[in-house]
Structure 1
Amino acid sequence: MTTDGQAHAARTMWNLLHAWWQMMPKEKQTLANADAAIRQARKDIDFLAVLPAQAAQAVLKTYFQAWKNCWDGRADPPNFKSRLRTVMSVDIPQGRDLNTTRVHRRWGQVNIPKVGRVRFRWTKDLPVGKHAGTENRITGARLVKDALGWHIAFPIQTLQHRPEPHQGPDLGIDVGVTVPIALSDGTVYEHGEWLTGKEKARLLHLEQRAARRKAHRKAGERTSGRLHRTYDQIAGLRAKAKRRALDWQHQTTTAIARTYGTVVVEALTITNMVKSAKRTIEEPGKNVARKAGLNRSISAEAWGRTVTMLAYKTAHHGGTLHKVSAPGTSRRCSACGHTTPGSRESQAVFVCKNPDCGWSGNADHNAARNVPHLYRMGHALIPAAGRAVVRRAKRVKPATAR
């Protein structure tokens, strides 16, 4: 049995568990009853038997954790997993059954239950052999498939000391499209295109080929194998670009977390920033194509993912991350503190219109300097305490309704 079969079985197990949860009365929605249900399902349905028992228990644990996150206000309630939109993955919770070994400087081997020995690329040091112990060991594995193939990740249990408070300076960050990350001390982090010229030409050629083949397909006709292969090649190039973007984000956020003790960012509502400008037929929007291009550029920069990385990396190095309100940071003069209309003359230049000031400089640098100023003035945002209680009352009802 291949790993693909186990991934499809894990997704089916999740959907069956979700259907069972919705049908059961509230008093019977317990962990013990759910465990008995999935055990019986693995006996009755041969397709689910390809999934190891430990992986089936991991699905159950993940499903219950999803409901806990919903009740605590951290996420939406769990739902059915679509075959086309769900990332294929398999969780193996018991690390002692993996028998992970290093066979080469660049390669290792791991024993996947009901699959066998699998070779993987050794990219980080793992506690195997004499380096493993009760306080430093592999606790499991997670197999994830994307357009470039299958990948394996190992959760590790290790003993870490609480980091000392970071004594580095304060830092403000302004994110943008032209300049991805601008720091308050004048440092700028930029990146180029994620695909080379040949790769971009190849992607354009594949997209044109897919459009031609799709145009010749009749309504209701199944997608041909050649069109599927073209889609897979397009997805592979896009996955390669995403991997390079992730690598740049990791390197940039790690450098910031190691250097600065207090990092202050803007609390951006990205979902509102990337809304379409089409509006309605009676009242159409303006510059719809330009706004659509801006939305794609904002989404490509993944500002929310950058903030998430900074949050856990600053905590790992003993620093702190704070958020301040975003409105006004681009129009306020960081030298005199006045906000005057028309100060930002262009995307890159800021000129203060205050007659007593007249400071001019880089617009991104000016906005980044305003961010830590708001934090020092006590304008850091604090999450509302009652928000989780309200969301819990709203989210539990659909799961238990009949």
Structure 2
Amino acid sequence: MKRQFGHRARLALSPPEIRLIDDQAHAGRAMWNLLHDWWTMLPKDKRSLTAADTAIRQARKEIDWLGVLPAQAAQAVLKTYFQAWKNCWDGRAEEPNFKARFRTVMSVDIPQGRDLNITRVHRRWGMVNIPKVGRVRFRWTKDLPVGKRANKNNRITGARLVKDALGWQIAFRVQTLEPKPDPHAGPEVGIDVGVTVPLALSDGKRYDHDEWLTEKEKGKLLRLEQRAAHRRTCRKRGERTSNRLRATYDQIQELRARAKRRHLDWQHQTTTDIATKYGTVVVEQLNIPNMVKSAKGTIEQPGKNVAQKVGLNRSISQEAWGRTVELLTYKLAQRGGSLHRVPASGTSQRCSACGFTTPGSREDQATFACKNPDCGWSGNADHNAARNVLHLYRMGLALVPAAGRAVVRRAHRVKPATAR
């Protein structure tokens, strides 16, 4: 089966190369804004892909700093802009808008894979060709289909340069042809996600992690946030952000980006281990946006325990449960496994031994003790919830996709009317 995926690697750039790529990214953002301005000003009957392509070519000839952007990257901006409008017309996204200088992710697209000319230098480093920049080293952390290994079915179709708080990276678009995996022979397992225990499995295993920042980094982050808050108070209303305040913001983003990378690395290692050991994984269908809603309330009806709810919302967002499920989904599919979702209501209050839900069974956050006099089972609360998640799947209560749920709901609505 054909598989398309991305692989991101860190670039080792010199200061002049960083400035060149920065100029290309700013030129691409400006071209998007000019294209959007040109598109919205024209009458609808004169808007076409050919007219937009002609306007971009003329702009690159007349404006020097737009010529810094390679021609293929400029065409990629046009293609992405038209795709954004198509997503809007299909109802998948909102209308495209202007891209701000400091709130937009800086990126440059390299749509042609043959322009990269990738070679491996040694075990840890490779070389890639970036248009109008030259040969650049990148960190080699994954075997790529280059050289003699590249063919029609296994090749790199393109790349994209992306900048975050820690520097520039290159994201390769890889296309491979792999044999269809055999069904995974591993056991079934239910997973309960949480804040104190990130992942608890129905067989008693759990996956924990340490803090993403060290104590020294936490102290530095606190000082930087206090410094930024003090400098914000010194800025007058409507005044432009000072360079010192912006430099403080950059340092804060660097620490948060470092924590995010460590979290993503832990998620990849954990989900790979789960997908390798288990053939069927069952998770809860959680509505995370509703879970992290603010408890502030209104003036007429103010909320309660607002500060505690803010801290809980932050902890839930930092765990990124949705990303864990996404990683598990495609990794299980690669290994012949499957992922299923079950309703989340009642999984933490039900006793996994006797099946009864009795009030007061959760003695504290970590312990579950069944109050049924005929049972009396006690154990870890997260382990109990994971066993209930797996039990719902074995009872045939796995949720179907959204379209299927709509069909089931219509069928249930018709039955009472037909009976009457």
Partner of 2:175: 157
| 1:22 positional shift | 4.7
The structural deviation recorded for 1:223 is 2.8
Deviates more, 1:333-342 or 1:10-19: 10-19
TM-score (structure 2 length as normaliser): 0.85
Matches within 5 A, 1:108-187: 108-187=126-205
Quote how far apart the aligned CAs of 1:133 are: 2.8
Hey, what's the Cα distance between the residues in 1 that align with 2:353 and 2:89?
46
DSSP-derived class of the 2:368 partner: strand
Which residue of the other structure, out of 229, 235, 238, is the alignment partner of 2:256?
Answer: 238
Greater mean alpha carbon deviation, residues 132-141 or residues 341-350: 132-141
Structure 2 residue aligned with 1:318, among 336, 356, 361?
A: 336
Deviations 1:263-290 (A, max 9, x none): 1111111111111111111211100101
- What is residue 86 of structure 1 aligned with on the other side? 104
Task: Give, in angstroms, the shift of residue 350 of structure 1.
Answer: 0.9
Q: Helix, strand or coil for the counterpart of 1:199?
A: helix
Greater CA drift, 331-340 or 25-34? 25-34
Which segment drifts farther, 213-222 or 232-241? 213-222
**Matched residues in 1 for 2:242 and 2:111: separation?**
38
Distance verdict in 2 for CA 1:75–1:167, change over 3 Å: farther
Q: What is the alpha-carbon distance in structure 2 between the residues aligned to residue 2 and residue 200 of structure 1?
A: 34
Q: Which residue of 2 aligns with 1:366?
A: 384
Contact 1:87 1:144 in 2 (8 A): yes
Name which of structure 1's ranges 41-50 and 360-369 shifts more when overlaid on structure 2.
41-50
CA gap of 1:7–1:290, structure 2 versus 1, over 3 A, is: same
Instruction: Tell me the matched-pair count.
Output: 388
Structure 2 residue 240 is matched with structure 1 residue 222? yes
Cα offset for 1:304?
0.9
When residues 29 and 308 of structure 1 are mapped into structure 2, their CA distance, relative to the original with a 3 A threshold, is farther
The aligned amino acid for 2:227 is: R
Distance (whole Å) between structure 2 residues aligned to residue 24 and residue 314 of structure 1: 48
* TM-aligned CA distance change 1:305 to 1:29, over 3 Å: farther
Q: Tell me, in whole angstroms, the C-alpha distance in 2 between the residues paired with 1:231 and 1:115.
A: 28
Distance of 2:94 and 2:366 partners within structure 1: 39
Equivalent in the alignment of 2:314: 296
Structure 1 CA distance for aligned equivalents of residues 225 and 106 of structure 2: 24
Determine the C-alpha separation between the residues in 2 that align with 1:177 and 1:89. 34
What do you get for the CA RMSD once the two structures are aligned? 2.4
Match of 2:326 among 303, 308, 312: 308
In 2 relative to 1, CA 349–77 (structure 1 residues): closer, same or farther, beyond 3 Å? farther
Q: CA deviation at 1:222?
A: 3.0
1:207 pairs with 2:225: yes
Paired position in structure 1 for 2:211: 193
Summarize the Cα distance change of 1:29–1:222 in structure 2 as closer, same or farther, 3 Å threshold. Answer: closer
Structure 2: how far apart are the matches of 1:275 and 1:150? 34
1:279-294 correspondence runs (5 A): 279-294=297-312
Structure 1 pair 387/337, CA: closer, same or farther in 2 (3 Å)? closer
Identity of matched residues, %: 77
Q: Residue 147 of structure 1: CA displacement?
A: 0.5
* Distance verdict in 2 for CA 1:77–1:330, change over 3 Å: farther
Write the letter of the residue equivalent to 1:159.
L
**Alpha carbons of 1:101 and 1:292: their partners in 2 closer, same or farther (altered >3 Å)?**
same
**Alignment match, 2:5:** none
Larger deviation: 9-18 or 151-160? 9-18
Q: CA separation in 1, counterparts of 2:274 and 2:38?
A: 47
Tell me which residue corresponds to 1:400: none
**TM-score using structure 1 length:** 0.89
Change (3 A) 1:73 1:164: farther
Q: Helix, strand or coil: the match of 1:142?
A: strand
> Could you tell me how far 1:30 is from its partner in structure 2?
5.1
Which deviates further from its counterpart, 337-346 or 259-268? 337-346
| 1:224 Cα deviation after fit | 2.7
User: What is the CA distance between 1:135 and its match in structure 2?
Assistant: 2.8
- Separation in 2 of the partners of 1:356 and 1:151? 60
User: How is 1:313-352 mapped onto 2 (pairs within 5 angstroms)?
Assistant: 313-352=331-370
Comparing 32-41 and 86-95, the one that deviates more: 32-41
Residues 314-373 of structure 1: per-residue CA shift (max 9 Å, x gap): 111111111111111111111121122222221111112222222111110111111122
Is the CA contact (8 Å cut-off) linking 1:73 and 1:387 kept in structure 2? no
Deviates more, 1:83-92 or 1:300-309: 83-92
